[in-house]
Amino acid sequence: MSYQSELYQQVILDHNKKPRNFRPLENPTHSCDGHNPLCGDEITIYLKLNKDMMVEEISFSGSGCAISKASASLMTTHVKGKSVEEVKIMFDEFHRMIRGEFDPDKNKHHLGRLTIFIGVREFPSRTKCASLAWHTLICALDRKGEAYTE
Residues forming a β-bridge with 60: 22, 45
Binding site for another protein (CB under 8 A): 2-4, 7-8, 13, 16-17, 38-42, 63-67, 123, 126, 129
Are the beta carbons of 144 and 32 closer than 8 angstroms? yes
Q: Output 42 or 92, the one with its CB closest to another protein.
A: 42
- Separation CA 74–CA 67 (nearest Å): 10
CB of 38 or CB of 53, closer to another protein: 38
Give 30 or 126: the residue with its C-beta nearer to another protein.
Answer: 126
**Rounded to the nearest whole angstrom, what is the least distance from the CB of residue 61 to another protein in the complex?**
14
In the complex, least distance from residue 95 CB atom to another protein, rounded to whole angstroms: 19
How far is the C-alpha of 105 from the C-alpha of 112, rounded, in Å? 11
Query: Nearest approach, Cβ of 108 to another protein (angstroms)?
Result: 31
